[in-house]
Structure 1
């Protein structure tokens, strides 16, 4: 696993753009996350995918990986990739000479040979720039990372605290995150200093959680507006009524005007998603007239009586009455 190419791990070409890399990571992360996949090898696969994404999602880290491969963390800044490649080739063919660029910009000649220790080679050349021998190229800040945060409509509406599990070096780490009320689908929540680990004492990158609101059997969210169906009896729709409707924030009352047909939308201002920086969204209750599947004898008699006196023809062009 340690020798696999990061592009191969994510299943993307070396020319892949940032969005393509993100899509590939999200798909694989969903498949192999330990909370979802209980296969014994899923955890290792998830770590592998996460490491590949951490490297390839950061432009500077990706540039170094493209230049030096898996050795990119050990190679000092300023080393010429072509010279480094020649040195590696020489290490396996009995030795050859090469050049690298030193800390002051000067070119430094080195000799390679079988079994060469590249950390000794480059660490000695750049010793003193960052402190430790073999790590003299200075601190490298950690890469910013992204992770999806699945939420129900109710969770997105009310916000609150949430525990998430993320991969880390040597295992997983658990974070407590605060979800702002009214978070929208696709919104990025920044957690400063919770991204990829830095090298040489440098600070961690940031973690960006991308909110993904799951489909709901009752609610449909569009921006900050919420849509919900409002079942009514024929009498409530014809005569008008005040009825209760469930919202993500609790029960609300909606006034149904007389003569409301199926499909009519009733607007409840401010009952949609909260907005910490402005006006909240609205809730739209869509009328849906429900008739009983079976009728009692009395109900049937009354419906037949109504049918006999009603002049309404819903199939006419106007949908109105056919006679005075």
Structure 2
């Protein structure tokens, strides 16, 4: 079944007040009235305009339609009403506009027409009070991103989170509302992981359960550390003599400074693993220290002589031998 977008028919947005809807209807009804319009499809458009106004002019009918519009349209554009749908407001009381009541669309007949032919109340089990009392629907889930510093993600923290939910007003129109929560972030949250807060999404309809809030963790860039899976990586410069002779150096970790032994004969790119210093969890990560040999910007005359002597002593060493040059 095709969905009828009554707001588009009248050329108004879904938050339009009743006076704007009435104004738009009167303007279009005059434009497409078969007695005055010369357009070939004037009759069809006149009936569409009348049908749209029949629904949107009444708060209860409009509330039902807004919920159908929100929950019934599928991703492929087709329309499927909620299971067991029956209009609570109905059209049994008459009072139609100039639209011919016998020419309403299939969508209108199936969604709202039952009460019109019944000649009275909307149907068993549905009292006056509209969609909120007749149909129970779960509230929307809300998805939001939460940026954390690396230290917060590793150690856990309390964060205040603000997000927007949509809830229905007294006329059934969905309006945005700001919501703020204090959330406890467990230790070891990684980039892209989600935290589900049950019942903290949008309110339900007609007594339905509220939706959930899903927070996606987003790690803020760190000036020194990077993250790969559960490991924390840091690049640490070492002097040529520290790399050649071995040394004990101080390196940063997320939890503070620690001493690390550089093995004798280390080259740039060598990785030293600090077990368990990464992200906590069932399989805790490590901290990886990547060595980078750094040369002094200037050498003294004595140091230059020593390098020349070293070059003579180690002239058989060719660091590019594996390139087959």
- Return the TM-score normalized by structure 1: 0.61
Pair 1:282–1:131, CA change in 2 (3 A): farther
Pair 1:95–1:215, CA change in 2 (3 A): same
- For residues 48-197 of structure 1, the aligned pairs below 5 Å read 63-65=71-73, 78-79=85-86, 93-96=99-102, 99-100=109-110, 108=114, 110=116, 124-126=121-123, 128-129=125-126, 132-133=129-130, 135-168=132-165, 169-197=175-203
1:279 aligns with 2:268: no
What is the number of equivalent residue pairs in this alignment? 238
Pair 1:175–1:233, CA change in 2 (3 A): same
Corresponding residue for 1:18? none
Corresponding residue for 1:315? 319
Shift of 1:157: 1.2
Shift of 1:183: 0.7
Q: Which runs of 4+ in 1 moved over 6 A?
A: none
Corresponding residue for 1:245? 251
Counterpart-to-counterpart distance in 1, 2:269 and 2:235: 9
Shift of 1:91: 5.8
Contact 1:261 / 1:288 at 8 angstroms: preserved in 2?
yes
Corresponding residue for 1:222? 228
Per-residue deviation, residues 171-199 of structure 1 (Å, max 9, x unmatched):
42222111111112221101111111212
Counterpart-to-counterpart distance in 1, 2:273 and 2:131: 67
Per-residue deviation, residues 74-125 of structure 1 (Å, max 9, x unmatched):
x995249xxx9xxxxx8673432664489xxxx93626xxxxxxxxx99x41
Shift of 1:272: 0.9
Counterpart-to-counterpart distance in 2, 1:226 and 1:61: 48
Pair 1:214–1:4, CA change in 2 (3 A): farther
Shift of 1:209: 0.7
Counterpart-to-counterpart distance in 1, 2:131 and 2:196: 34
Counterpart-to-counterpart distance in 2, 1:286 and 1:306: 26
Other structure's SS at 2:152 match: helix
What is the aligned-residue RMSD (CA, Å)?
3.9
- Return the TM-score normalized by structure 2: 0.61
Corresponding residue for 2:307? 303
Contact 2:154 / 2:188 at 8 angstroms: preserved in 1?
yes
Counterpart-to-counterpart distance in 2, 1:185 and 1:66: 31
Counterpart-to-counterpart distance in 2, 1:247 and 1:158: 13
Counterpart-to-counterpart distance in 1, 2:297 and 2:136: 73
Shift of 1:200: 2.1
Contact 1:161 / 1:177 at 8 angstroms: preserved in 2?
yes
User: Any unmatched runs of 5+ in structure 1?
Assistant: 6-59, 85-89, 112-120, 320-324
Corresponding residue for 2:169? none
Counterpart-to-counterpart distance in 1, 2:178 and 2:291: 48
Shift of 1:241: 1.2
Per-residue deviation, residues 25-46 of structure 1 (Å, max 9, x unmatched):
xxxxxxxxxxxxxxxxxxxxxx
Pair 1:233–1:61, CA change in 2 (3 A): farther
Per-residue deviation, residues 116-135 of structure 1 (Å, max 9, x unmatched):
xxxxx99x414744773554
Contact 1:185 / 1:211 at 8 angstroms: preserved in 2?
yes
